[in-house]
Amino acid sequence: MKAIAVRPAAREVALIEQDEPTIERPTDVLLRMLDVGVCGTDREICAFQYGTPPDGCDHLVIGHESLGEVVEVGPAVSRLRPGDVVVTMVRRPCDHDHCAACRGGRQDFCFTGDFTERGIGKRHGFMTEMVVDDERYMHVVPRSLRDVGILVEPLTIAEKALIQVDQVQDRLPWLATGAPGSRRALVIGAGPVGLLGAMALIARGFDTTVYSREQAPNPKADVVASIGAHYVSATDTTLPQLAERIGRIDLVYEATGASTVAFETMKILGTNGIFVFTGVPGRKAPIEIDTDTIMRNLVLKNQIVFGTVNAGPDAFQAAIRDVGSFAERWPAAVRALITGRYPAEAYRDLLLGPATGIKNVLTF
Ligand code: BGC
């Protein structure tokens, strides 16, 4: 069967042939891949800046955003049946007894760093025709979401972030009684993580602004407008002007991976605000940042800054629920997030060519 793989030692990205996997353990499930999303992480792996093949293997099959259909189940599988549509989680736990997170099924908070990730770190991924994994890592998606279920994994980033935002803002119990729109969020970056984050924020009643490089009109700005958020372009509005326009910013959701703009944005975070980092910047030369202003604000304005990666079962469940409700509320905007579906043979342009569109999907 076909698979898309990188060979880091040979600096090669190729469409390869490999054997079909088979069910080996009683709780294994065999999936036929329906859709596999292409994201910035895949493109970084294909630029050899990230990603590690499994031990003893010279290549890594990439792909971690997936939607699959159950073809066969092992004898001890209890939750899934052939025909079910599922999203498979990305991260697998480390082996250490002392890692309370992994032992508790929350490898997204792994302490040791010895976790593995399908399609990213030491485990083959989903850009292939058939996949086997344990049922415990699979979440059923209603068949009615067949066309948009590929958005579940990228949405889990925002869902995990917002679960933590709620936990942090339990410190401000009176906020829960605020009128819709009384909390203001700023999303920086209008890629899939940013746009899905904006949808999740609007759904929770935040008055939401998306700040991005490209000048409007453009397809991303159209999505932002159609969900009732505001699009502001960095080409005509500076961050201080943006701060003036929005007023107090309660939440910044960073979805650019660009550390300079992120730290500049930290300066305009409001009182009692939260700043969430989701991007993974490439390592570039150090830059100067205004640490006195940032530290004064953090202290004098009770601010909280946190980073978040990967996602647990709660975020996957929330993402499945929300993709469904977004698709009902904003059908055209959700469809517009998926720029196109392409056969596996189109991998070169999508992974190595200039980034285009919003979410590109490979089909196998
Ligand atoms: C994936 C996460 C993963 C992270 C770091 C992201 O693109 O969505 O599942 O944990 O990369 O490898």
- Closest Cα to residue 265, out of 289, 283, 282? 289
Q: What is the DSSP string of 303-338?
A: -EEEE--S--HHHHHHHHHHHHHHHHH-HHHHHHHE
Residues 6+ away with beta carbon under 8 Å from 16: 2, 3, 4, 5, 59, 61
Q: What is the dihedral of CA 75, 80, 82, 86, to 10 degrees?
A: -140
- Global pTM reads 0.97
Residues with CB under 6 A from ligand 1: 39, 41, 64, 90-91, 117, 120, 309-310
Backbone angles phi, psi at 107, to 5 degrees: -65, -15
Pocket test for ligand 1, best of 43, 120, 127, 196 (most atoms within 8 A of CB): 120
Would you state the structure tokens that stand for residue 335, as one six-digit string? 């469809």
The confidence score (pLDDT) of residue 180 equals 72
Residue nearest to atom 9 of ligand 1 (CA): 310
Residue nearest to atom 11 of ligand 1 (CA): 41
Taking a C-beta distance cutoff of 8 angstroms, is the pair 193, 154 a contact?
yes
> Rg of the chain's alpha carbons, rounded to an integer?
21
Pocket test for ligand 1, best of 42, 90, 122 (most atoms within 8 A of CB): 90
Ligand 1 centre from 177 Cα, in Å?
A: 34
Calculate the alpha carbon distances from 219 to 74, 131, 281, 336, 359 in Å: 44, 34, 25, 8, 12
The confidence score (pLDDT) of residue 177 equals 67
Per-state percent for the chain, helix, strand, coil, to nearest 5: 35, 25, 40
Residue nearest to atom 4 of ligand 1 (CA): 310
The confidence score (pLDDT) of residue 317 equals 98
The confidence score (pLDDT) of residue 78 equals 96
Q: How long a stretch of residues is the chain?
A: 364
314-338 burial, b for 16+ CB within 10 Å, e for fewer?
A: ebbebbbebbbebbeebeebbebbb
Antiparallel, parallel or unpaired: β 28-38 and 65-73: antiparallel
- Start-end of H helices in 22-110: 40-46, 100-103
Neighbours of 79 (CB within 10 A): 14
- Closest Cα to residue 166, out of 318, 344, 295? 318
Ligand 1 centre from 184 Cα, in Å?
A: 27
**What's the rounded Cα separation, in Å, for the pair 336 and 326?**
12
Using the structure block, give the residue that is written with the tokens 């500076």.
Answer: 238
The confidence score (pLDDT) of residue 93 equals 98
Question: What is the residue-level pLDDT of the chain in tens, covering all 364 positions?
Answer: 999 999 999 999 999 999 999 999 999 999 999 999 999 999 999 999 999 999 999 999 999 999 999 999 999 999 999 999 999 999 999 999 999 999 999 999 999 999 999 999 999 999 999 999 999 999 999 999 999 999 999 999 999 999 999 999 999 988 776 777 789 999 999 999 999 999 999 999 999 999 999 999 999 999 999 999 999 999 999 999 999 999 999 999 999 989 999 999 999 999 999 999 999 998 888 889 999 999 999 999 999 999 999 999 999 999 999 999 999 999 999 999 999 999 999 999 999 999 999 999 999 9
